[in-house]
Structure 1
Amino acid sequence: MNYVHSVTKHLLANRTSLFRWLFVAGFIVSVSACQQKSEDVTPQTSASTSENTTINDWILQNMQEVYYWNDKIPANPDKTLSPDLFFDSLLNKYDATTNPTGDRFSWIEEDANTLTAELSGQTTTTGMEYNLYLRSSGSSNVIAQVLYVLPGSPAALAGIKRGDIISKVNGQSITTSNYSDLLFSGTNFSFGFASVSGSALVDTDKTVSVTATTFQENPVFLDSVYTVGNKKVGYLVYNQFVPGANGSDAGEYDSQVDAIFSKFKTQGVNELVLDLRYNPGGYTSSSANLASLIGKGVSSSKLYFREEWNSSITPELQKQYGSSFFIQNFLDKSQNIGANLSRVFVLTTEHTASASELIINGLRPYMTVTTIGTTTYGKNVGSITITDDSGKIKWGMQPIVFKSYNSAGTSDYSTGFTPNIEVEEPINLLPLGDTNEAMLKAALSQISGSTANARQAVSEQNSLLQVGSSIQRKAGGKSMIRPIKNLNL
């Protein structure tokens, strides 16, 4: 991910689309903007039908050119549908039984400008991310457990912290039928809290009012250096692959990561714990930057990953740009600590996706990558953002356009990476960076040699059934984004 390069891609002479970024995509469809809204099923007027046809022509042209499964697009799709439903009708949809390699990840949004801001970490938010769980087995009541809080955000200023359990919003108990409306709508919230008492959750009298605001997330959340015996252990919590703030091309977040690894190198770090448990992906340039700071023996002559596009566009791209179009090599980084490392530990959950999984897959041919936590999401395909550079069409879409492979030709993680060492986060969460925190403790135990490569025993396991997460709603969540060259085919 170089920071946000807007690049016009003309695959045909009359093309009107602006392809801004590449994604190894993965926003969960159930919470994306291609959800059917109530107006989607309202009978269309002749004027709106005409407008839909114009937008849908644009959608179809682009999809026929670049969609990874363009040979699966229906021959005569219904162009009178609203654009979101029309886009959905073109997809080679995933089915676990009949089409297990199908599309789970393409999506479309009505406002492309908002999308581009969100992809750089700028959203209207309270500043906290949380998992949603059923309050008890068989119950319809839901609790939200806070995973992390962004420094300086409204939630942080209100005193909310990791591990807090929210059971009510604006005086209403959270349930399976209302959690989306209560938590994901509006900007003014009064949160009521619960606490763990023995094996039960008990509501408390505590309430906190928070107003969501437009906030820029810095993905570089925390870094530390620990001494374990004769080892110096670098630890980095990194929550999204974003090179810089929205509207900036300075790459300030990538530079911050570089500075951390420069410190690691100066301090003689010879073990690394990379915490990607809440990282749903992002720009591949930032993924390549981070991998290039870690990899052993890597350089700009070594392959990080390559892409496979559809069979009709591949010859055109090959002819115009050569094979280099499809590859991302490592970078030459003076801050690289790979010479001092024999391995890297990566902390993972089901929120670890796409650009995060690319780190695991891309580094494995060069060094031992040990994953600790739970199985990752499973995202080995990519998409591009397509918008209309004429400004007449306001929609933006995110079709899958490629599949990624590492230097060993491996791309077999569509069901996620199973952890080498399984550790589940407990119901009582300690602060990130605390050496007694479950996942970090497991990694440090491996480094000290005090545990075997087996499932780590964690007291007070979280037995609650997860029903969702705010991380799934991040724009481009489960994504990997790569700026690309101008295409003039």
Structure 2
Amino acid sequence: MNNSAMPTTAPGAVQSRPIARRTFQYLSIAAFALLLASCKDQSADVTPQVAAANPNGLVDNWILDNMREVYYWNDKIPANPDTTLAPDKFFDSILNKYDATSNPTGDRFSWIEESATELQASLSGETTTTGMEYTLYLRSAGSDNIIAQVLYVLPGSPAEKAGIKRGDIISKVNGQLLSRTNYVDLLYGTSTTFNFGLASVSNNTLVDTDVSKTVTATVFQENPVFLDSVYSVGGKTVGYLVYNQFVPGANNSTANEYDAQLDAIFGDFKAKGVNELVLDLRYNPGGYTSSSANLASLIGKGVGPGKLYFREEWNASITPLLQKEYGSSFFVQNFVTKAQNIGGNLSRLFVLTTDHTASASELIINGLRPYMTVTTIGTTTYGKNVGSITITDDTGKIKWGMQPIVFKSYNSANQSDYSTGFTPTIEVEEPLNLLPLGDVREAMLSTALAQISGTPGARTGVANANPLPAIGSSIQRKAGGAMMVKPMKALPL
């Protein structure tokens, strides 16, 4: 369970006008090095009297100058925003906010955090957590009571050590029944020790039990490579991968060990003659575009450095500057050469999806569909076709970090038509009784295997398998809940 505050922004480095220096980082794609040379440390220009009159001015102006430069919708920023507001409120006040009716193409994703250090750690999968993710449901339609159904538990985490497993249903926390009025405080409050009271399903009815598990959250590094298996089905050799976040390596690591782990898995798939692939991204909210490109390059059929994975569209004012400084290659991410690529043995790809499948996960679907048949199984994806960078102050004087949207992505067929998500080719909703991931009887995997074997079973096309109304998920709190981050290098002064 992720107990970090709900995020609001991300990293990079640029310098131009007299503002405090900043560092830009993209989650995915190669390295970035914005141009805009020399930027003066704005904090040196702020007199004590001015700072006392407006204690938020330094941070707010740092936010404003960065956003006016790189924000995708920079032409929508108010001309004279109120720089006396608290930084988080100021940031929110200048966004081009999404509205389903009046502004359906607006911003749903930019966020800011008071601690740049915590922001960057969370983007790499390091958080204070119990080590489990869950979906929240109303106990019944119209009820005020809530349950949390465990979706997965991280190996070696406090939750696993306490005996919690996928499918467990939490109805109480610290002796209190979860409800609309208390679940935020009980699950996401300041406490780090939880006594989870469990319920069970009996005759399609939820029944509270006397079983409880005590878990203390700790700082924990999640390995996003959750599970891989190989199955023999209908004369086919099927590779299966559960991948839960696009992260190249652990926080503060430069080894890209998680990308290397994927390379090794696909090397094994190739050695075993895998000729069908099921990619399980149902709980993957996104991450670094570089890791997305790495995975796509292991899968794609007939891909390589000469083939476009995706391209970026930036705002109109910064595009010509980037074009002049770096050329057109700045805006494109081609596939890369991978000796472990299994695309030559594949004619299609199956991707398991839910509304937690977002951003860099959707980039996989969009980027590969011009090159091979991509069949999605599950429920409609989140719908994020835009990407962000992380912006921090490299002087250390400003502690905030923000993650603004700075580009929109397009595949090689110039498609970016999934802002409302990818509708599944085959609809399958996860049931209330969850089987372990990788179990061939599990609802989504069994549907994929049935498609591969040519004998679609009863699960194919099943919708509304869970009658309880969902109201949220802990996955939404993971580093923004839906992220596509481009990694960028710090710019020279």
Q: Residue 28 of structure 1 aligns with which residue?
A: none
CA contact (8 A) 2:287 2:360 kept: yes
2:80 equivalent to 1:76 = yes
Q: Residue 402 of structure 1 aligns with which residue?
A: 407
CA deviations over 1:4-43 (Å, ceiling 9, x no partner): xx8633355866111122479xxxxxxxxxxxxxxxxxxx
The letter of the residue matching 2:83 is K
The letter of the residue matching 2:177 is S
Distance 2:489 2:400 in 1: 22
CA deviations over 1:200-257 (Å, ceiling 9, x no partner): 1000000111100010000000000000121000000000001111110001000000
Indicate which of 255, 266, 274 corresponds to 2:271: 266
Q: Residue 377 of structure 1 aligns with which residue?
A: 382
* Secondary structure of the corresponding residue to residue 359 of structure 1: helix
CA deviations over 1:134-158 (Å, ceiling 9, x no partner): 0011100000000000000000001
Q: Residue 451 of structure 1 aligns with which residue?
A: 456
Distance 1:178 1:449 in 2: 48
RMSD: 1.9
The letter of the residue matching 2:244 is N
Distance 1:447 1:157 in 2: 36
- Superposition map of 1:407-418 within 5 A: 407-418=412-423
Distance 1:407 1:145 in 2: 39
Distance 1:277 1:367 in 2: 20
TM-superposed CA distance for 1:487, in Å, is: 5.0
- Superposition map of 1:382-397 within 5 A: 382-397=387-402
Q: 1:394 to 1:23 in 2, by over 3 A?
A: farther
CA contact (8 A) 2:12 2:390 kept: no
Indicate which of 319, 325, 338 corresponds to 1:320: 325
Indicate which of 102, 109, 121 corresponds to 2:106: 102
2:115 equivalent to 1:116 = no
Aligned residue pairs total: 463
Tell me which moved more, 179-188 or 8-17: 8-17
TM-score using structure 2 length: 0.91
* Secondary structure of the corresponding residue to residue 56 of structure 2: helix
CA contact (8 A) 2:428 2:444 kept: yes
CA deviations over 1:305-349 (Å, ceiling 9, x no partner): 000000000000000000000010101000000000000000000
CA contact (8 A) 2:28 2:291 kept: no
Question: Structure 2: where are the runs of 5+ without partners?
Answer: 1-10, 30-48
Q: Residue 56 of structure 2 aligns with which residue?
A: 52
Distance 2:218 2:231 in 1: 36
TM-superposed CA distance for 1:402, in Å, is: 0.6
Indicate which of 154, 169, 184 corresponds to 1:165: 169
- Superposition map of 1:278-293 within 5 A: 278-293=283-298
Q: 1:406 to 1:48 in 2, by over 3 A?
A: farther
TM-superposed CA distance for 1:46, in Å, is: 8.8
* Secondary structure of the corresponding residue to residue 374 of structure 2: strand
Distance 2:416 2:492 in 1: 29
Indicate which of 191, 195, 199 corresponds to 1:194: 199
Q: 1:329 to 1:486 in 2, by over 3 A?
A: farther
Q: Residue 368 of structure 2 aligns with which residue?
A: 363
CA contact (8 A) 1:23 1:479 kept: no
Indicate which of 129, 154, 158 corresponds to 1:125: 129
- Superposition map of 1:420-439 within 5 A: 420-439=425-444
* Secondary structure of the corresponding residue to residue 372 of structure 1: strand
Q: 1:11 to 1:298 in 2, by over 3 A?
A: farther
CA contact (8 A) 2:125 2:222 kept: yes
Q: Residue 475 of structure 2 aligns with which residue?
A: 471
Tell me which moved more, 219-228 or 50-59: 50-59
2:219 equivalent to 1:214 = yes
Distance 1:349 1:7 in 2: 30
2:257 equivalent to 1:252 = yes
* Secondary structure of the corresponding residue to residue 51 of structure 1: coil
The letter of the residue matching 2:147 is I
CA deviations over 1:255-276 (Å, ceiling 9, x no partner): 0000000000000000000000
CA contact (8 A) 2:24 2:489 kept: no
Distance 2:25 2:170 in 1: 38
TM-score using structure 1 length: 0.92
CA contact (8 A) 1:282 1:476 kept: no
Q: 1:409 to 1:136 in 2, by over 3 A?
A: same
The letter of the residue matching 1:189 is F
Q: Residue 243 of structure 1 aligns with which residue?
A: 248
The letter of the residue matching 2:185 is D
* Secondary structure of the corresponding residue to residue 250 of structure 1: coil
2:70 equivalent to 1:62 = no
Q: Residue 3 of structure 1 aligns with which residue?
A: none
Indicate which of 171, 177, 182 corresponds to 2:181: 177
The letter of the residue matching 1:434 is D
Distance 1:117 1:488 in 2: 23
TM-superposed CA distance for 1:399, in Å, is: 1.1
Q: Residue 482 of structure 1 aligns with which residue?
A: 486
The letter of the residue matching 2:376 is T
2:166 equivalent to 1:134 = no
Q: 1:419 to 1:454 in 2, by over 3 A?
A: farther
- Percent identity among equivalent residues? 73
Question: Structure 1: where are the runs of 5+ without partners?
Answer: 1-5, 25-44
CA contact (8 A) 1:163 1:429 kept: yes
